[in-house]
């Protein structure tokens, strides 16, 4: 990811980290210590063609026998698995994914499962431990790096443009959608004062990620980056284009409405 003139962030799909079993294996010198601390653990993985962000919810329909087994087994433990992006175009699994906590199981009569899941934190695959009947991997959890610049202005721009996009979308499609309680609690200006700002900005950026209409490859790159600043700057650029498009469509709709009168 690189910053172009004006601060715009450009992506290259080549920057997505993929994991090739046995070729890209990592063994940490302090792995035992990190396992004890909880930053490294064994995690069953569920590769899918979607990206899950921390704090987001995603329902899943589980029908393959191997993944029915995965979900039945984690019920006996901590209800946690890793959702990781699978790219069917190159038949590769991403190296970075998001741990998910199953919050609701709904078993069907034929053995299929409907499950609700909440994203918790990102991880990077160190190596596969097993690949059958499903993947088990040793993973390391990680967080964004501390920002080296003041990003309060770009965050406010993202929030302002996001509100404009929702307002224009409601007007264009005659809807009354609103932001959820979680989003309003972590948004700039509306957040509780005792919330640590860097952590709040990170959570806000991931919530915006889940809402934006982006390619799955861009979603993966925004999940993967360790820079809250770069994530927000890319979102600012996307929202700018969305706002301009929706404003133009609303103008056309209003003009056509006047012509009919």
pLDDT in tens, 97-141: 999 999 999 999 999 999 999 999 999 999 999 999 999 999 999
pLDDT at 82: 98
Q: What are the sequence ranges of the domains in the chain? A: 2-141, 152-260
pLDDT interval class at 1 (50, 70, 90): very low
Beta carbons of 140 and 39 less than 8 angstroms apart = yes
Homologous superfamily (CATH) of 2-141 is: LON domain-like (2.30.130.40)
Q: Which tokens sit at 204?
A: 């806000």
| pLDDT band of 2, cuts 50, 70, 90 | very low
Q: What is the mean pLDDT of residues 84-107?
A: 97
| Phi and psi at residue 183, to the nearest 5° | -65, -45
Cα–Cα distance between 61 and 192 in angstroms, integer? 36
Condensed to tens digits (0 to 9), the pLDDT of residues 160-173 reads 999 999 999 999 99
Assessment of whether the complete model's pTM goes beyond 0.85: yes
**73 pLDDT higher than 90:** yes
Q: Is residue 102 a contact partner of residue 117, using CB atoms and an 8 Å limit? A: yes
Please report the pLDDT score of residue 4 as a whole number: 41
């Amino acid at each position: 990811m690189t910053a172009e003139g004006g601060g715009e962030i450009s992506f290259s799909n080549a920057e997505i980290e993929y994991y090739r079993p046995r070729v890209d294996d990592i063994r940490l010198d302090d792995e035992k210590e990190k396992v004890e601390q909880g930053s490294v653990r064994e995690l069953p993985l569920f590769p899918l063609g979607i990206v899950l962000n921390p704090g987001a919810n995603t329902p899943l329909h589980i029908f393959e026998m191997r993944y029915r087994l995965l979900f039945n087994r984690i019920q006996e433990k901590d209800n946690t698995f890793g959702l990781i992006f699978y790219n069917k175009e190159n038949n590769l699994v991403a190296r970075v994914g998001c741990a998910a906590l199953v919050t609701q199981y709904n078993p069907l009569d034929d053995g299929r499962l409907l499950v609700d899941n909440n994203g918790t934190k990102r991880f990077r695959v160190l190596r596969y431990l097993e690949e059958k009947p499903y993947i088990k991997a040793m993973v390391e959890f990680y967080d964004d790096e501390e920002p080296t610049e003041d990003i309060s202005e770009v965050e406010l721009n993202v929030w302002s443009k996001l509100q404009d996009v929702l307002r224009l979308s409601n007007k264009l499609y005659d809807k009354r959608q609103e932001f959820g309680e979680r989003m309003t609690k972590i948004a700039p200006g509306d957040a509780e004062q005792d919330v640590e700002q860097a952590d709040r900005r990170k959570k806000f950026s991931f919530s915006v990620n889940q809402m934006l209409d982006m390619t799955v490859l861009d979603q993966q790159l925004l999940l993967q980056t360790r820079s809250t600043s770069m994530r927000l700057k890319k979102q600012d650029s996307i929202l700018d284009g969305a706002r301009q498009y929706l404003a133009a469509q609303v103008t056309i709709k209003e003009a056509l409405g006047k012509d009919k009168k």
